[in-house]
Amino acid sequence: MLKLAAEADGPVGASAPVSLLDWFDLGTELILVLERPLPAVDLHDYITENGGCLPEEKAKVILKQLVDAAKDLEDKHIFHRDIKSENILIETGSDVPRVRIIDFGLSCFAKKRSVYRLFYGTPIHTPPECYGRKKYRAGPTTVWQMGVVLYEALHVGDFNTMTFLQKELKFNKDLSPHCRNFLDACLTNVPEKRPTLGDLQLHPWLR
């Protein structure tokens, strides 16, 4: 959070991650004073308030911002680890919903080739490689999380990796070809075959 604050371009509220306003080390606990955007709801509630799933065009607006924010974190060598609908705030004070990322409690600094063996994050969103290889990397995991967020934005109900791997999750048949391709690419089982965040920024669905 200090690194994000030090490298922030502009005033409080200008970045996608919420701003750190102050902090206090009490020895046994650490208190962070964070920006609270208003009016805003988390993406999970935003989806619920919009009938349980979003129109593809509205999901695209959110995913474009989210991918850009995730790429910016990656460029700063920050691995959030738990990007999900509950950790994404949607500012609702304007015509266009604005994405803000919260809850960096599981975050860490990551090098390009860093490998992790103990999974930190939401268990039902665990990427497939954690089950088979017992290890995962920051980039492919974050891309997987982009797919999870998009799936939950476009479908009624929560995403579950095990259900997905057992081919029991149903996909919306009305998605455009570019959208379905984006979703399939993010949720590719083999991490080396997933696009990078930079690739996603250039994907035709977000252009």
Per the DSSP assignment, residues forming a β-bridge with 30 are 25
Residue 55 CA to residue 37 CA, distance in Å, equals 24
Residue 172 and residue 154 in contact, taking contact as beta carbons nearer than 8 Å = yes
Tokens standing for residue 105: 């409690």
**E strand spans, the chain:** 20-25, 30-34, 40-42, 78-79, 88-91, 98-101, 108-109, 115-116, 136-137
Q: Which of 42, 72, 82, 103 is catalytic?
A: 82
Tokens standing for residue 87: 């950790």
Is residue 45 annotated as a catalytic residue, yes or no? no
Residue 117 CA to residue 125 CA, distance in Å, equals 16
Tokens standing for residue 198: 């930079």
Q: Return the CA Rg of the chain.
A: 17
Residues 6+ apart with CB under 8 A from 26: none
Tokens standing for residue 122: 């939401």
* Positions marked catalytic: 82
